[in-house]
Copies of this chain bind each other. A is one copy, B any other.
């Protein structure tokens, strides 16, 4: 089972990205030719989703080494620049660190550039394999005839392919589970409306789109059997940082006894932090809320608070679905055990 599209594709020394700013109205390819294009594509959200950002950044490090093969200082500066594109998702740093490690281990070799290119390709391909495993591991958590709520886009478009949360949903669907999906539109950037809805219709999974504030009533009325969504960073106590709106959903789920799952690769876990309070929350441009596309929806003089993420406390998380298995509470102990196995 493969997606009919490639979120990112490395070809003839260029990285081809589906321009996710334009979906679903337009399908266009953004061509990144150097590390600056890569930084822009992440910052401006041509590509988004923690794992997809990681894989994209890996190619950025390769582009940077190609440009600065004779100037290590400039190479590291370029890596820092790519890393500065977005602050919250840890996979960005994880991928850059892995690429830099590869460079440092091989910098005296003649073929170091090829090795880095292959490392980026590996990161991309491994992500798809990882996501299929996440899907397989999540399968038993999806009951037959389940109605599932998801938030934002944790699909093929958020990863190198297949997806994390939406990967679990697809795996269930292709394993003949008769499921129905509600997709939150996910203001302000509407990744749910634009991207998840697009993936769901492409895959012909029965589904409906809702405004974010509809979810609470559906959960209260017993119309949602479980919530599954992605993660941009997970602390070692199990706190999950994800798209703004995730926390509110988790409170409603907790109140009404609905299972709440985060699906993410192990690379999303930040082993350096003990709780979600240590995760920097990105604040994005105020005009993301004042405008939708070209349409003005608020007075220009109205001030805006536009955080891109929030932190869901581990007490509200039923389980975290990873490629290494499903992590249940107590998260602190079980994430520590996972770390020791890596």
Contact = CB atoms under 8 A, between A and B. Distances in A.
22 contacts: A187-B211, A187-B212, A190-B298, A193-B290, A193-B298, A194-B297, A197-B302, A207-B302, A208-B303, A208-B304, A209-B298, A210-B304, A210-B305, A211-B306, A213-B245, A214-B307, A217-B247, A217-B248, A217-B311, A251-B255, A292-B297, A293-B297
Contact of A248 (B207, B216, B295): B216
B297 A294 contact: no
* Interface size band for A: 35 or more
A200 interface: yes
A106 interface: no
A215 interface: yes
A277 to B, nearest CB: 10
Contacts of A198: 299, 302
A217 to B, nearest CB: 5
A12 interface: no
A194 B301 CA distance: 12
Given A208-B305, A214-B244, A298-B209, A292 B293 contact: yes
A182 B292 contact: no
A87 to B, nearest CB: 17
Nearest to A243: B213
B214 A298 contact: no
Interface string A51-92: 000000000000000000000000000000000000000000
